[in-house]
Amino acid sequence: MADAPADAARLDAPSSPGEVHRLPGLDLLRAIAVLWVMLFHSFLNEGPDEGFAWLCHYGWMGVDLFFVLSGYLIGSQVLGPLARGQRLSFGGFYLRRAFRILPAFLAVLAVYLLVPGFRESPGLEPA
């Protein structure tokens, strides 16, 4: 008879070191959380229609949901090697995160600095 915890650990672990195991349900929840926050911010200046009023009113909950899910997923990336009996490498973790986050950050920063229309103009009030 197979050992249940060991079988569960093998199911959660990627089959190769470079492969990332995705949990589609959690990705869907994160996407819903992001859309919820975007909906909330899109109606800050004008009230939403009756159908979306309750959803927009509780938009802050999308932020909480996103942070909880992101914390769980990032925690599993950091602690996953320990579950497989490997050594914990914070340097490797931060290097992988930098390669994932920095390209988008630098692209947005370049657009902001190079395209004057994306900057705050004197006629706009800061948010």
Q: Where are the domains of the chain?
A: 23-86, 88-118
Which band of pLDDT confidence, cut at 50, 70 and 90, is reported for residue 50? low
Q: Which of 78, 112, 73 is nearest to 93 (CA)?
A: 78
pTM: 0.58
Q: Give tens-digit pLDDT for 81-117.
A: 888 888 888 888 889 899 999 999 999 999 888 887 7
Q: Which of 26, 4, 14, 3 is nearest to 84 (CA)?
A: 14
pLDDT, position 73: 85
Number of C-beta neighbours around residue 117 at 10 A: 6
Do 69 and 26 meet the contact criterion of CB atoms below 8 Å apart? yes
